[in-house]
């Protein structure tokens, strides 16, 4: 098992800097997922780690050794891409053995053993003699993963490996990748995706990237429950957290947040935060909102759209802010467009952010 450590890693293409000094400490055996909007630098970061791109500044260590100048092969990594990149004229077996044979990486018998072991792990033994065209998309991607396994890498890198699969196969292959991590006795894995569910379910820790910076690193549920800033708050979770402009006033042992339309909520337990008061934002997740009466309302407004999804109903509500907010209510909810409704949320589900977008932390949450 090998750790991967990045210290102030920068990447420039000519005059354009796309990674602005990334610090990351990936532990041996960890499953780390990079998420972020398209173009934020996920693939570039992965390619820098793989050695497919030079580092412009900073230090990259794998297994405690600086590898800035090492070739991809010397780094002991294997990479799986979105496009499976199999050789169409070679059987599954030959596709998996080819790289090893080419690199004279082991005797014929050893290579055979490694191919068969990988095929067993991925349950593709029955297809070893087939050509890729006789496989489904999911099976092809398993061959590509198998080819990576035969190299016995210290670190696996995956760049959106499931993006070309249909929804059902994506779920199945995702579960297989989770199992693979266990079967490989915790080989370090770094996985890029833009899929929330993949990130939440696979990751030991998620790295949220934005415009070539790291916004936050943490366990999936930690990022969900306690985002550092507005960007992470709105990136993790679907539909995204509702954010409303608010005026924040410290009042003794609480903070009172007043939202545009004059409604206000006192949040106890925020005592001891460094907040000076002033402009900020109130955040509440769609799933933390519930219908209520006037006395308990956090938000009041009119229904603009109802989306029944079966197990939940998404209700969009105009509360006088720039955008409608959305509530995710359990089951089937019958509401007409234009209906006046009131919504509440438990105080401990409400998040506050300062004008700079940074989370206002409670003493309790900081201690957690
Ligand atoms: P992501 O994988 O998060 O969608 P990328 O890492 O592919 O993002 O790209 C990050 C940024 O770097 C983008 O703005 C992209 O246009 C730029 N970029 C990527 N590769 C190159 C390249 N070879 N030359 C110039 N710019 C590049
Ligand atoms: Mg990419």
Residue 317: per-residue pLDDT: 97
Query: What is the 8-class DSSP label of residue 306?
Result: E
Q: Using CA atoms, how far apart are residues 359 and 281, in angstroms rounded to an integer?
A: 9
Residue 319's nearest CA partner among 298, 296, 295, 293 is 298
Give the contacts of 14 (CB within 8 A, at least 6 positions apart).
Answer: none
Fold that domain 4-231 belongs to in CATH: Rossmann fold (3.40.50)
Query: What is the 8-class DSSP label of residue 204?
Result: S
254-259 vs 290-291, strand pairing mode: unpaired
User: Near ion ligand 2, which residues have CB within 5 Å?
Assistant: 43
Residue 367: per-residue pLDDT: 46
Q: Which two tokens stand for residue 57?
A: 């500044």
E strand spans, 144-187: 155-159
Pinpoint the residues of the chain covered by CATH 2.40.50.100: 232-367
What does 9-57 look like in DSSP terms, one character per residue?
A: EEEEETTEEEEEEEEEEEPTT-EEEEE-STTSSHHHHHHHHHTSS--SE
Residue 255: per-residue pLDDT: 85
Give the contacts of 334 (CB within 8 A, at least 6 positions apart).
Answer: none
The verdict on the CB of residue 32 being under 6 Å from ligand 1 is no
First to last CA, the chain: 29
Tens digit of each residue's pLDDT (9 = 90 or more) over 307-330: 999 999 999 999 988 899 999 999
Task: Report whether 187 contacts 154 (CB < 8 A).
Answer: yes
Which residues in the chain show pLDDT less than 70?
261-262, 269-276, 362-368
Q: Using CA atoms, how far apart are residues 266 and 247, in angstroms rounded to an integer?
A: 12
Residue with CA closest to ligand 1 atom 27:
13
Query: What is the 8-class DSSP label of residue 294?
Result: G
Pinpoint the residues of the chain covered by CATH 3.40.50.300: 4-231
Indicate left, alpha or beta for 152 from its phi (over 0: left) and psi (-120 to 50: alpha).
Answer: left
Residue with CA closest to ligand 1 atom 24:
13
Q: pTM score, two decimals?
A: 0.91
Q: Using CA atoms, how far apart are residues 241 and 234, in angstroms rounded to an integer?
A: 5
Residue 368: per-residue pLDDT: 45
Residue with CA closest to ligand 1 atom 26:
13
Residue with CA closest to ligand 1 atom 13:
39
Q: Which two tokens stand for residue 110?
A: 């050893």
Query: What is the 8-class DSSP label of residue 359?
Result: B
Q: Which two tokens stand for residue 292?
A: 């209520």
The verdict on the CB of residue 15 being under 6 Å from ligand 1 is no
The verdict on the CB of residue 193 being under 6 Å from ligand 1 is no
Share of the chain residues as helix, strand and coil, in percent rounded to the nearest 5: 30, 35, 35
Q: Using CA atoms, how far apart are residues 222 and 200, in angstroms rounded to an integer?
A: 10
The verdict on the CB of residue 54 being under 6 Å from ligand 1 is no
- CATH tag for 232-367 (out of 2.20.25.90, 3.90.420.10, 2.170.190.11, 2.40.50.100): 2.40.50.100
Task: Report whether 208 contacts 214 (CB < 8 A).
Answer: yes
Q: Using CA atoms, how far apart are residues 264 and 246, in angstroms rounded to an integer?
A: 9
Q: What are phi and psi of 110, to 5 degrees?
A: -65, -45
């Amino acid at each position: 098992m090998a750790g991967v450590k990045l210290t102030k890693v920068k990447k420039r293409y000519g005059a354009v800097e796309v990674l602005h000094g990334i610090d990351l400490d990936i532990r041996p055996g960890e499953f780390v997922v990079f998420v972020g909007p398209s173009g934020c630098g996920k693939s570039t970061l992965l390619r820098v780690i793989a050695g497919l791109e030079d580092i412009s500044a900073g230090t990259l260590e794998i297994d405690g050794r600086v590898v800035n100048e090492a070739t991809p092969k010397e780094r002991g990594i294997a990479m799986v891409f979105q496009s499976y990149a199999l050789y169409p004229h070679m059987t599954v077996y030959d596709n998996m053995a080819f790289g090893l044979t080419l690199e004279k990486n082991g005797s014929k018998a050893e290579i055979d053993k490694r191919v068969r072991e990988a095929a067993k792990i991925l349950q593709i033994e029955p297809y070893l003699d087939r050509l890729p065209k006789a496989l489904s998309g999911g099976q092809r991607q398993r061959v590509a993963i198998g080819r990576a396994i035969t190299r016995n890498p210290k670190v696996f890198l995956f760049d959106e490996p499931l993006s070309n699969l249909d929804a059902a196969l994506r779920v199945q292959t995702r579960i297989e990748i989770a199992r693979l991590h266990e079967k490989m006795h915790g080989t370090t894995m770094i996985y890029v995706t833009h899929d929330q569910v993949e990130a939440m379910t696979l990751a030991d820790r998620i790295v949220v990237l934005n415009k070539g910076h790291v916004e936050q690193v943490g366990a999936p549920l930690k990022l969900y429950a306690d985002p550092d800033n507005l960007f992470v708050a709105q990136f993790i979770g679907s539909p995204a957290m509702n954010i409303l402009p608010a005026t924040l006033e410290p009042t003794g042992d609480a903070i009172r947040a007043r939202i545009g339309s004059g409604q206000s909520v006192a949040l106890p337990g925020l005592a001891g935060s460094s907040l000076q008061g002033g402009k900020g934002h109130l955040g509440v997740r769609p799933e933390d909102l519930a219908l209520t009466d006037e006395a308990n309302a956090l938000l009041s407004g009119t229904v603009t759209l109802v989306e029944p999804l079966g197990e939940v109903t998404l209700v969009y509500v105009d509360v006088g802010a720039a955008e409608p907010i959305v509530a995710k209510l359990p089951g089937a909810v019958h509401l007409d467009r234009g209906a006046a409704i009131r919504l509440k949320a438990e105080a401990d589900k409400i998040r506050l952010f300062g004008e700079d977008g940074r989370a206002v932390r409670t003493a309790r949450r900081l201690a957690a």
